[in-house]
Every structure is written in C-alpha cells, then in structure tokens.
Chains A and B, each alone.
Chain A
C-alpha cells in the first residue's frame, strides 16, 4: 500500500482522475455543439444551468475529499496520503473557478452591475462568493515556498479557511434549492463529520497535553500537522 502511495505514478493517476469530471463536461459540450440546437440531449434544455450545477457539485466534492485527507491519514495510518492533499485542494479551487467563471461569463454575460447587485442582495450568492474568495489566498500560498515564507504555524492557520469555505459552500447549495434539500444535507453531513473529527482530535490532544495550550510555546511544525 505504501509503495503505491509513494510512487510518483500514483500522483499522475490521481491527477488524471481529477480531470475526468471536466472531461465528461467537455465531451457533452462538444457533442451538443456538433449536433446543434436544441442542446437538451447532452446539456439539458438549460445548458448554462446544467454546467453551473455540475461544476458546483464537483467543487463541493473536492472540498470534501480534501478535508477527508487528514482524518483518513490518521485513521488508516497512511501518512503518505498527504502527498495528494495540495493537488486535491487545488482541484477544488479549479472547479470553483470554473463554476464562478461560468456564472460571470455565461450566466450573467459580464453584466457587472447586475452581478454586484446579486452578490450583496442574494444571500446564497453572497455566501458562495465569499467561499470562493477565501479559496484564492489558499491557492496562491499552496506552494512549498509560501509555507516557508509564512512559517508552518501561520500557514496552517491561514489554510484552516478551507473549513469556512466548505461550510459556506454547503449553505450556498442549501439556499439555492427550492424544497428538496437531500443533496445539500448529504454534503452538510460529510462536512460536519470531517470537521467534528478535527474538533474531537483537538480535544483529545488538549487533554493529553494541556501545557501546550496555556503556555503557547512554539511547537515544532512539520508538514504533517494540519
């Protein structure tokens, strides 16, 4: 298992797997365009809505997968899983950017005043937008150089913003649907479990080592913590 996880090819395979949702969407768009209007066979009668929803779905899925890495590493004792976390997080950002870009370019067609009105007037757009904006500094500081520049502790603190984004993403979805809240609640449950696990781990850690909290002495940090 370990040799599989540490192989450089595994990273390539995971990277390609992460591109499959995009590949399927592109496949649908190409077929729809080659067939001409109406697009409903491949993109439903409302293609812009369809693509927006698909990319939104995948953003939430990648946020959940990224958040699952640390618990899985600990529970399954597979520290090597950390090798994939940055890539998965960046894919969450990638699909979020597509989702956001489609809203700007296709749904609103660069109607900036209208978009700005939406951002501050429509709560579901406000939270979605906030969640996306919070991901930007995380994507920028995802490199080893930035971990060094910020210092492990501060970098780690900054990157906890993903917890906020995940929660905002779920709220964004919950406020969008009309009455069938099953899917937003499924994502909500997953995010809740993953955050609760962290809270539990933090409580146990604090109990074992209360001094660390009260004295606040700088702890040696490794890429492992977080």
Chain B
C-alpha cells in the first residue's frame, strides 16, 4: 500500500518555464559540446596523410642475393605506411605515426638455450657477421594482402652456426622488444606481449629464412621492425617477427603469439596455403598492394620448390 503524504509544494514553487527550458538547453549544449570536442580531436585524422616514421640510413656494400623474384617491387611509401605492428597501435597507419621515436640504439640480441656458445650480439656485430644481401621476396599477410619487398640481410643460419646449436635443439623461439613505456598503445592491442614467434630448427636453418636489417637499400624504418627482424617468405607475415631481442634454441615447440590468441585461426606453422582457409576469410586469393584485382595465392607463397620438402608426409590441413 502506498501512503500518500500531502505535498507541501504550492504552485509558486514550480520552476519557471524559462529556467526549466534553460536546463534542457544546458543539457543539449553539453551534449553538443562533447560531440564537437570529440569530433574535433579526430578531425585532423580525416585530412592527415600517413606518418613518416623514423629516418633510415643508407646501407653500403649490399650485394644481390639469391632467390630474388623479378616481380614489380611495391612502392616503399606503401610498405612504410601500411603496417601491422600492434605494439604501436592496431590501425595500419598507426605504426608509422607512433614508432617515430622508438629507440633502436643501443640494441642487443641475446642468443640462448640449447647452444654451445650462447652470447649477446650488438647491432654492430649483427651488421658485420656476413656480407649484406638484397633479397627481393614476396610477403603475404594472413589478412590476404601482399607486397614485394627488397629486404637487406643474410640467412639466419649464418648466425645460428656461430652459436652452435646442440643436438637437443629442435626449435627456435624468437621474442620481440616490448617496452610499455615506449609502446603505450600495446596494452589495447588485444594480444599478449611481448610478441613471440617460433620455427622448427630445419625451417630456421633454411637459406630462405632471412635475418633482416634493412629494406630498399637502407636500414629498417621503425614501423617495419627496426633494427633487426626475421623474414620468412613462405609463411604468413605474422611469422616474420619484428624488432628482435631474444633468440632461444629449444627442445619443444615454443608458444607463438597469434596461436595463443586464437589456436583455431593461426597455427604454429602458418605456411602460406591457398587451400586452407582462415576460418573467417578465404586464403585462395590476395590483393597485391597497388593492384586492383585480386591475384591467386601460390602454395608456400611461390617458394614451394625451395621449401615443400620440409613438410613431406605432413598433413598441412591439420598442421596449418
């Protein structure tokens, strides 16, 4: 039961209509102001071109390497402004804006685990371990776009042989730099960081697997994985880890970032394979950046002659 109390308000207490309207207008004004401020902050993005990233330095003494494709090289401006580097934001244009001031010097790469000679390499040492080669590779992203990039570096096995993996080493685990202070965008990327990747030892030792320190004749721009990264041309792009700080030779298959995030979508191997679709989209075709029509995706990204034998007897539908 509701007990109604006599109200002690009289008509004189009624808020005058003008004041009442004032509140409404105030609320509307508040709403409009919020919208304008929010819109204003985003406005520059609507007009802005892409960021420029860091300033790469010309590399000298680069020789022509093996396995080069003669396909048309993707314009450098595309490769430096359209990036997946979630530590610096998840929009394609974010890394070129946000990685500008990323500190890549001093830099060391620690090589550990099942090796006879574990050691740390400085960037200077990495740059001079072997003659730098230009390797023009196709690069296929799991998102069904692709590019052709003239990378600079040398086969990863050059470095691996130096540290002498023991017979127990069956896999190689890679780890990216993760510095939350320099990468405040990373926390909202949705993936667990630091970014980790891995290869079977025989994959890592394949001469195509590149330890990469540059592209387009210069050192790597920050948004493309400066100062040193891996490039595995027959696998989806996310296997080619950027801004490498640690390499571990291990006995068991190491955890890998995207596989941990969605094991049904991203396998450990992640070889480019037009016959095995990503659960959410087809992998049969790809859009080469700068081209209008999609082109068919090639098995192992066109490197089947070189790498197919690594997977003899394996069911690539199960080990995707």
Task: Name A residues whose Cβ lies closer than 8 Å to a Cβ of B.
Answer: 1, 24, 37-38, 40-42, 44-46, 48-49, 76-78, 106, 109, 114, 117-118, 122-124, 175-182
Contact = CB atoms under 8 A, between A and B. Distances in A.
A180 B85 CA distance: 12
Given A45-B81, A180-B90, A180-B189, A37 B24 contact: no
Given A45-B81, A109-B293, A38 B75 contact: yes
Contacts of B67: none
B182 interface: no
A175 B262 CA distance: 13
Interface in B243-284: 261, 280-282
A46 B289 contact: yes
Question: Would you list the 7 A-B pairs with minimal beta carbon distance, nearest first?
Answer: A179-B190, A45-B78, A45-B82, A180-B90, A38-B75, A41-B49, A45-B289
7 contacts: A40-B82, A41-B77, A44-B50, A45-B289, A78-B24, A78-B28, A178-B143
B46 interface: yes
B102 interface: no
Contacts of A180: 86, 90, 188-190
Contacts of A37: 75, 290
B86 A179 contact: yes
B120 interface: no
Contacts, number: 84
Interface string B285-313: 00101101110000000000000000000
Contact of A76 (B28, B77, B82, B287): B28
B24 A76 contact: yes
Contacts of A114: 282
Nearest to B278: A122
Interface string B20-61: 010011011000000000000000001101100000000000
A177 B292 CA distance: 23
Contact of A181 (B21, B190, B287, B294): B190
B237 to A, nearest CB: 12
A182 B287 contact: no
Given A180-B189, A181-B190, A44 B281 contact: no
A37 B72 CA distance: 13
B77 A179 contact: no
Contacts of B47: 24
A76 B92 CA distance: 40
Interface SS of chain B: loop
Given A38-B78, A77-B24, A179-B261, A46 B92 contact: yes
A48 B288 CA distance: 12
B93 interface: yes
B92 A44 contact: yes
B81 A40 contact: yes
B15 to A, nearest CB: 13
B123 interface: no
A179 B79 CA distance: 22
A37 B82 CA distance: 15
A48 B289 CA distance: 10
B205 interface: no
A123 B93 contact: no
A1 B49 contact: no
Interface in B190-208: 190-191
B82 A182 contact: no
B145 interface: yes
A78 B294 CA distance: 50
Contacts of B75: 37-38, 40, 45
A44 B84 CA distance: 13
Interface string B74-103: 110111011000100010110000000000
A45 B290 contact: yes
Given A44-B81, A46-B82, A76-B24, A122 B280 contact: yes
B278 to A, nearest CB: 10
A122 B148 CA distance: 28
Contact of A182 (B28, B81, B188): B188
A128 to B, nearest CB: 12
A48 B287 contact: yes
B34 to A, nearest CB: 13
Nearest to B21: A1
A124 B92 contact: no
Contact of B287 (A38, A46, A175, A179): A46
B200 to A, nearest CB: 25
Contacts of A106: 292
